[in-house]
Every structure is written in structure tokens, then in C-alpha cells.
Structure 1
């Protein structure tokens, strides 16, 4: 029996006459934290959005938990996949509690169950309910709002989380703290699968159990950070790694 959470088989995507993704195939196992790394235009966000059908593929098949996404009701598919983006999109007129409760309320959960879930998630993302539950988004920092976005995406207890450059709009110190927290959250939520898009190589290698490096709509390498560093498979991957080594050399010079 397969333990595959997400599987792509020869997936293609075109925008107008331009092919963005061509015959993309890969598999993500249950419980893995996969980072998808690449420059702008590499196809990483398009790949992520095809999983919850925000972008429809033009060819090939995509499976979630062993079932073709075409055979799953669209609303059901999206309710079972958490989605976090850089522009968090919290509802400004709702409290933090109500923002997190949005999907459970749509699903018809009873009020007591929703409150328990909201408190649990706010504790998980280090924003205690008693202190932050009744606040509004404008009363939180950018990093705190991003944590609320993660909590909201987790509210209905999805098995798969899609995160599209969620920390790209925060400062470097806050971003580092958020990276530590999202890694801790994944560890605490045993069995949940995270796919995290980034253009930051350090972020990708720090967070990912495996890193998928994309270039021009293709996978250059898909492996553990250690294996990629010790055995880069393509010139593009070598160039990426060189940027890290150059940064390290610069910092050594400045010391």
C-alpha cells in the first residue's frame, strides 16, 4: 500500500503558448516536509497551486492520498488541504479568534469544539488565546499575522499543508523565528505533509526533509539537503550552491 500524500505523473501546464511545466513527475510521502526551491519563473508556485486546483493542469495526473484530484469534489479537496500565502489575507473586521474559526464554522462544527480548536492552535503558534484572541489583525505585527494565517490553515485539521513563500514579506529576524516555529509545528503535528515554496536557498535547506530544486519547469534535483550538497546533479544546482559558498566567504572576510 502506498504512503504517498501527493504524486505527479507527467504533469504539464501551459499559459497561452508558453509551456511552464513539462512532464513533471515526483512523489511526496506522508508526513514529509518538502521545500520547493527555484528562481522566479521556475514553476514552483504553479506546481503548488495545481495540487489544490487553483491552477488546472493541461496534462498528466495529480493524486492526493492515492486518488486523482479530478475525482475529488473541489470544495472537499480544498477543505482538506491547508493553504498559506505571503499575503496572508486575514479578515480585518474579524477578531483573531474568528479568523481562525472561519473554516470550522463553514463546516458546521459546534461552538464548543471550535473554541477548543482555536485555543489549541493559538497555543501551537505561540499566540495565547487570552492575550490575542479578541484582537484584530491590525493590532498584530506582520510575523504574528503570518502565524495566524498558519493557524487558520490548520483549523480543519488538514493532512496536507501548502505554503507559498509565506515568510517572504517579513524582516530577516522575524523570518528566522518563523522558520524555527514552522519546523517545530511540523514536528509536533506528526504525520502531516508540508510543501513549502521558497526562493531562499538557506530557508529551503533548513526546513526541508527533502528539497525539490526547480528550473524552467523541470526538477533539477529532488533529494535530502545533505545528498544535494555532497552530490549536486546539474550545473544549475552547482550554481545555487556556489551562491552559499560565496556568501560564507564574504562573511569570513568581514570578520
Structure 2
């Protein structure tokens, strides 16, 4: 198996019958095990790129591969079941217990009951919601941050190689968001060879979490590198402008001390 988990080759995407160009000539490779944060303003193409990986959106041209296999050669349901997907709205089933929410995909895949229970217990321990205390609760009995953690656990339940996260912490308060950021980073570090792609419009979040940061602007990549290299050597005026917003905020807080 190739160590390139995801590959985009010359991807194009437009909407409104070609009138609105969202992505042009997008090419990049993601090595296995990376935590890639995708940063950009609204309309930069970051969510569109993410949704193409599990075929929620189809490209107009170009090719996307997972471990050297074109995604169009997979059965679409098979493809989605082997890729974890977490969104801001969480989307837990309100009438399912936490245990059953996490078990959804393994049950669809026909796992044995004992194996499913062991997996649910393992994941609930990983997200710091002990099985004995939380398994039989319903989503309405959890805080927003706890629900988001369950959403991550559900996406990981079938042990996917790839995790797609689309602004998963955007709907929670700032303190909870910081806690979730620490937990998702720790989770990735403890999951061998799992590849995470995480879309955000928060520059601090992108640079905190990413082993590499992909900065998108008007459907193209302005820079794709480690946080350290981007900070030391921003390649374009757009990247320089993004970093300047962070420095301006830091200056504001210093002025209030």
C-alpha cells in the first residue's frame, strides 16, 4: 500500500452550470498519518475539496485517489463507510443511546455484537466519556462539547484510515473549543497511521492542530507546509495578510495588560 493516503490531481469544480468556479487545478498529496488543517476564507474551496474525498461532491475534472486507488472505483457506500466524517452540526441520532450512536457503522458492516461493544468501550474511554456512566444516555443529556466528542467517536468506530472533519468545533463556546482541540490532537497522536483532514477558518486552530497547514485562496493552494515554515516564510500576500491578523490580535491583548 502506498504511503500517500490522499492524492488530488488537477481537480476542477464549478457550480451554477460553470458560472461559479470554486476550485481550479487543485493538486496535492497527503502522506499517511498526517494531520492536515485546511485554512481559508469563506468561498475558498476548502469544504468543497473535503467533500470530494467521500464523494458528497463530484469534481468536474481531475482525479482523486485513496492509497493509489481512484475513488470512482469504489462502491460509494463502501467508500463512505471506510472514511470517518465529522461536521459542525454533529448529527447524532436523538432517539439512539450514545452507545448505539457510536455503534451505527459497525452494525451496518455486520460486526459481531461482542466486537462492537468492545470497540464502543474503547472509543468512549478515548474521548473521556466512561462507558458505564454515558453509554445509556441520549444526546439531549450531554453538553454540546460532549456531543461533539461522541460524533468523533462515531466517525472512528469502524477504524477508518482517513478522518474528514469540517469545522467540527465551530458551534461550541471558546473554552469548550480549546478543550476539544487538545483532545483531538491527543487522539490523532495516539492513533497509529490515521490521516486527518480538518477544515477551519480559524488560523490559530489551524496552526495549533496541523502537522501541515494547507492555506486555500480562491480555489487554489497559496501555501502547504508545516506551521513553522509558513510562519517563518509566508509565500504570498494572502498568507502574509492572514498572519498579520494574528499579530494584530496579539498586539491588542498586549495593550490591555
Query: 2:8 maps to which residue?
Result: 8
> Structure 1 length as normaliser, TM-score?
0.99
1:224 aligned residue: 226
1:84 is aligned to 86
Q: Could you tell me how far 1:2 is from its partner in structure 2?
A: 3.6
Distance 1:112 1:249 in 2: 55
Q: CA deviation at 1:72?
A: 1.2
How far did 1:37 drift? 0.2
For 2:51, what is the secondary structure of its paired residue? helix
Alpha-carbon shift at residue 122 of structure 1 (Å): 0.3
Q: Deviations over 1:179-238 (max 9, x none)?
A: 000000000101000000000000000000000000110101000000000000000000
**SS state at 1:53 partner:** coil
- With normalisation by structure 2, the TM-score equals 0.98
Cα offset, 1:110, TM superposition: 1.0
Give the one of 168, 171, 176 matched to 1:169. 171
| CA distance in 1: counterparts of 2:4 and 2:201, whole angstroms | 25
Listed as ranges, the matches of 1:8-47 within 5 Å are 8-16=8-16, 17-47=19-49
Q: Distance in 2 between matches of 1:27 and 1:254?
A: 43
Is 1:75 aligned with 2:102? no
Aligned 1:170-185 pairs, distance under 5 A: 170-185=172-187
* One of 54, 67, 70 as aligned partner of 1:65: 67
Runs of 4+ in structure 1 deviating by more than 2 angstroms, as ranges, are none
Offset at residue 89 of structure 1 (A): 0.4
Match of 2:156 among 154, 157, 160: 154
Aligned partners of 2:253, 2:245: CA distance in 1, in Å?
13
Residues in 1 aligned to 2:138 and 2:42: alpha-carbon distance in whole angstroms = 33
Superposed, 1:45-60 pairs within 5 Å as: 45-60=47-62
Pick one of 229, 235, 238 that aligns with 2:237: 235
Three-state SS of the structure 2 residue aligned to 1:179 is helix
Q: Distance in 1 between matches of 2:67 and 2:196?
A: 14
Instruction: Provide the C-alpha distance between the structure 1 equivalents of 2:214 and 2:36, rounded to a whole number of angstroms.
Output: 7
Q: Between Structure 1 and Structure 2, how many residues are aligned?
A: 255
Query: 1:132-158, CA deviations, whole angstroms, 9 ceiling, x for partnerless residues?
Result: 000000000000000000000000000
The whole-number CA distance in structure 1 between the counterparts of 2:146 and 2:140 is 10
CA RMSD of aligned residues (A): 0.7
How far the C-alpha of 1:46 sits from its partner, in A, is: 0.1
- Give the Cα separation in 1 of the matches to 2:39 and 2:96: 34
Question: CA offset at residue 73 of structure 1?
Answer: 1.2
Q: Which runs of 5+ in 2 are unaligned?
A: none
Residue 136 of structure 2: aligned partner: 134
Q: Give the Cα separation in 2 of the matches to 1:127 and 1:72.
A: 34
Bigger drift between 2-11 and 201-210 goes to: 2-11
Q: How many angstroms does 1:19 deviate by?
A: 1.0
- C-alpha distance in structure 2 between counterparts of 1:113 and 1:80, whole Å: 17
